[in-house]
């Protein structure tokens, strides 16, 4: 059993073949952190890791012992006070205003498997033998309340999943002011902090900084996980790269406000906190009530950032994504948005669908504008019934006609929003987040529906269910096009307001869960004005997410590269759009655009009826390529080979390798052609050194002068020497002049020789 408790030394040791997690019960009954990292031998005593020092101006909670101050002891789930002046994992206020607490060890249990988190997304196990869970109960007898700390360690993964549950048996109740999901105190600050940051149209760029004294944080107070920061951060040793070195990752399985904070004290101890952002959070617990925090997944790697990412990818593919589409290849789709925007009718849609079907595309998605009286962004959100002026036979008739063309049919919704110009708002203005006595800010002409109220969720659920029950819908794009601003739940009391933000997210999750159960074969794709809610919480309900509204290939290299730090390729929504690109007005070849988009779910967003005959032929080849290789690309092992955020920001490369290492698809991108550029090689990774591979460059361009010659290379050559990607040498016979110039991309297929 990979969880042991030694009564004599009060030591807990969680371990498997890869990692160890050690902590102890301190002299005052609280929990002390000892170690998290590479597996160490199991033994009874690791108390020497609990270092003590006598510091000036310290408070001593045990008598007058100068060597026991919580300010200078690494802790497992600390509160503020009792001598600890650092940021706490939780804060509780009692009815008399006191925030002084003392939760100490009461008991613990160990069991095989992992419990579900009711109403919340979380990692899971399909068989109890996959993981073991430790639950530790802490009690504060004075306020008659308990905290249960939950730790699940997977048997064959370098993963620990954590959350906390608060329970009140106090007659007067308690108020949670802060409730982080985890804390980890580490003994030194010789790490760099890696995180994913950006804005709309440039989400999840890889950022890195040195740790400094004080606090450094990523966060969202926008009601969603946000374009600005992703709920994921890494502590990496300064010499860690993609292939080697130590790194610890922290991913919050949640889709709302969050805080990921690193505090470095003046003795170089590092405290990591992650959980629901405490701003505007206040959760009153009455007697008999409980509150459960969302889950944080901690991963350790001594195989570099690539090893860290691979562990997260495999965990999320195997133990977070659920249902019918968990292991299914994603269909190649076309979305009408950039082809028509709001200006369409049934005839136009069917023309697009017919042209798409002739290329081999499998799924047609009808985007915004099909409902109510929606002809622009100012009306009809909330009125989820078809616009019969545009679609005379409604969604039911249109979906049947799309199916008759040999295509599946998908539909866009934005269920969490409402326009002032809508029947829903006129009936229920009190269903909008915001104090109705004051001015309410609009964004994209819309307000946020108060999904903290069950009756609002029920109303929207019934409308969407009716549409889906009457039509043949195989895919839903679920959008969210604004963040929170003035958060106030009308007709609710003072105590409710501190709960509203979290209850909103719970309401969104509940709507997802009900629709998933009603329509288990529908493929859900989450979206939030692009990538504002690309997080692991969403992946529990929707197995893929729209990565960004920016479909420019050059920008998408960065966005998809950053997303791959933690999220699997099968979850990354990626499409080919028209040029000039409407975000940056750049013009790349159809080949370049597809060679980036194919490392994801893959699809098109353009008016296919306006393309030239040679472009249609290229699309046919691209669709054939994706169908042939999508299982490998979407479910293989993904390795980043060159970062677009390093060196001269001009090149990038990655590779996907099959689990048995017999196949791989390698991609190289060069943004601008430089005069007389130097020779360049990319060393591959993840393939087998002893295997001989047939290496072939794949082209979809009809301008290709002649087919390039295939070569055979051993894995050892490709790993240690590399494959040439120089402008004037491809490692093959030659490079056709037609593919020279800016925005160059190359795709290679590797297949093991028998």
DSSP-derived secondary structure for 431-478: GBSS-TTS----BTTBEEB-TTSHHHHHHHHHHHHHHHHHS---EEEE
Q: Are 602 and 330 in contact (CB under 8 A)?
A: yes
Q: How far apart are CA 37 and CA 390, in angstroms?
A: 59
Q: How far apart are CA 592 and CA 648, in angstroms?
A: 20
Q: Which of 257, 367, 549, 552 is catalytic?
A: 549
Q: Is the dihedral of CA 205, 211, 212, 214 positive or negative?
A: positive
Q: Which of 302, 479, 700, 727 is catalytic?
A: 479
Q: How far is CA 476 from the centre of its chain?
A: 19
479 catalytic residue (yes or no):
yes
3-state DSSP: the chain helix, strand, coil percent, rounded to 5? 20, 30, 45
The 3-class secondary structure across 690-716, one letter per residue, is CCEEEEEEECCCCCCCCCCCCEEEEHH
Helix axes 590-597, 553-563, angle to 10 degrees: 10
Q: Are 161 and 123 in contact (CB under 8 A)?
A: yes
Q: Are 449 and 440 in contact (CB under 8 A)?
A: no
3 state DSSP class of 658: coil
Alpha-carbon distances of 102 from 92, 167, 385, rounded to whole Å: 11, 15, 55
Q: How far apart are CA 607 and CA 351, in angstroms?
A: 10
Q: Are 294 and 257 in contact (CB under 8 A)?
A: no
Closest-CA residue to 618 (of 453, 480, 738, 441):
738
Diameter of the chain measured on Cα atoms: 85
Q: How crowded is residue 127: how many other Cβ atoms within 10 Å of its Cβ?
A: 9
Which tokens hold the place of 235? 């502590």
Q: Are 456 and 507 in contact (CB under 8 A)?
A: yes
Q: Which residues are catalytic?
A: 479, 549
């Amino acid at each position: 059993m990979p969880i042991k408790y030694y009564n004599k030394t009060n030591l807990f040791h969680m371990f498997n073949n890869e990692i160890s997690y050690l902590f102890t019960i301190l002299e005052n009954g609280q929990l002390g952190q000892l170690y998290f990292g590479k597996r160490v031998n199991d033994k009874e005593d690791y108390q020497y890791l609990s270092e003590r020092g006598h510091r000036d101006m310290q408070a001593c909670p045990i008598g007058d012992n100068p060597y026991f101050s919580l300010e200078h002891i690494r802790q497992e789930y600390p509160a503020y006070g009792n001598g600890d002046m650092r940021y706490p994992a939780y804060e509780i206020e009692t009815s008399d205003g006191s925030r002084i607490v003392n939760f100490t060890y009461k008991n613990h249990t160990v069991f095989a498997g992992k419990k579900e988190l009711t109403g919340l997304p979380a990692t899971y196990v399909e068989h109890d033998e996959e993981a073991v869970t430790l639950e530790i109960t802490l009690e504060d007898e004075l306020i008659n309340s308990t905290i249960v700390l939950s730790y699940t360690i997977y048997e064959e993964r370098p993963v620990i999943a954590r959350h906390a549950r608060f329970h009140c048996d106090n007659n007067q109740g308690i108020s949670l002011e802060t409730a982080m999901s985890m804390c980890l105190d580490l003994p030194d600050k010789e790490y760099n902090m890696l995180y994913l940051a950006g804005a709309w149209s440039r989400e999840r760029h890889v950022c890195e900084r040195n740790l400094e004294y004080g606090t450094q944080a990523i966060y969202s107070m926008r009601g969603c996980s946000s374009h600005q920061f992703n709920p994921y951060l890494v502590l990496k040793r300064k010499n860690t790269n993609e292939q080697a070195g130590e790194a610890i990752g922290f991913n919050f399985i949640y889709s709302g406000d969050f805080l990921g904070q690193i505090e470095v004290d003046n003795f170089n101890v590092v405290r990591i906190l992650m959980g629901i952002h405490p701003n505007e959070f206040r959760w009153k617990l009455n007697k008999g009530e409980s509150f459960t925090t969302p889950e944080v997944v901690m991963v350790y790697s001594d195989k570099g950032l690539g090893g860290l990412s691979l562990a997260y990818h495999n965990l999320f593919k195997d133990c977070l994504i659920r249902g019918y589409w968990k292991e299914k290849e994603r269909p190649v789709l076309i979305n009408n948005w950039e082809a028509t925007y709001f200006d369409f009718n049934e005839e136009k849609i069917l023309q697009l669908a017919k042209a798409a079907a002739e290329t081999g595309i499998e799924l047609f998605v009808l985007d915004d504008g099909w409902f109510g009286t929606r002809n622009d962004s100012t009306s009809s959100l909330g009125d989820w019934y078809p616009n019969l002026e545009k679609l005379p036979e409604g969604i039911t008739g249109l979906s049947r006609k799309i199916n008759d063309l040999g295509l599946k049919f998908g539909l866009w919704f934005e269920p969490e929003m409402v326009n002032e110009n809508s029947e829903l708002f006129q009936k229920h203005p009190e269903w909008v987040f915001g104090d109705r006595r004051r001015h309410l800010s609009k964004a994209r002409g819309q307000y946020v529906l108060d999904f903290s109220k069950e009756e609002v969720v029920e109303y929207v659920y019934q409308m969407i269910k009716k549409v889906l029950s009457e039509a043949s819908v195989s895919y839903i794009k679920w959008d969210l096009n604004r963040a929170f601003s003035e958060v106030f739940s009308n007709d609710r009391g003072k105590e409710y307001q501190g709960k509203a933000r979290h209850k909103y997210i719970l309401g969104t999750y509940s709507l997802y869960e009900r629709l998933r159960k009603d329509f288990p074969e529908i493929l859900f794709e989450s979206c939030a004005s692009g990538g504002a809610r690309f997080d692991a919480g969403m992946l529990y309900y929707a197995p893929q997410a729209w990565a960004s509204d920016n479909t420019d290939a050059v920008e998408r290299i960065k966005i998809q590269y950053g997303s791959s730090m933690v999220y699997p390729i099968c979850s990354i929504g990626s499409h080919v759009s028209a040029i000039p690109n409407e975000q940056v007005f750049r013009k790349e070849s159809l080949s370049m655009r597809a060679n980036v988009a194919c490392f994801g779910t893959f699809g098109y967003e353009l008016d296919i009826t306006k393309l030239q005959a040679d472009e249609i032929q290229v699309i046919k080849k691209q669709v054939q390529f994706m169908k042939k290789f999508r299982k490998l690309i979407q479910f293989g092992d993904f390795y980043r080979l060159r970062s677009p955020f390093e060196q001269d920001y001009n090149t990038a490369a990655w590779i996907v390798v099959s689990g048995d290492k017999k196949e791989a698809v390698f991609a190289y991108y060069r943004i601008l052609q430089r005069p007389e550029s130097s020779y360049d090689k990319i060393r591959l990774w993840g393939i087998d050194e002893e295997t001989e591979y047939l290496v072939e460059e794949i082209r979809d361009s009809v301008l290709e002068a002649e087919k390039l010659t295939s070569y055979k290379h051993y894995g050892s050559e490709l790993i240690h020497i590399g494959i040439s990607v120089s402008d004037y040498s491809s490692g093959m016979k030659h490079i056709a002049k037609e593919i020279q110039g800016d925005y160059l991309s190359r795709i290679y297929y590797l297949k093991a020789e028998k």
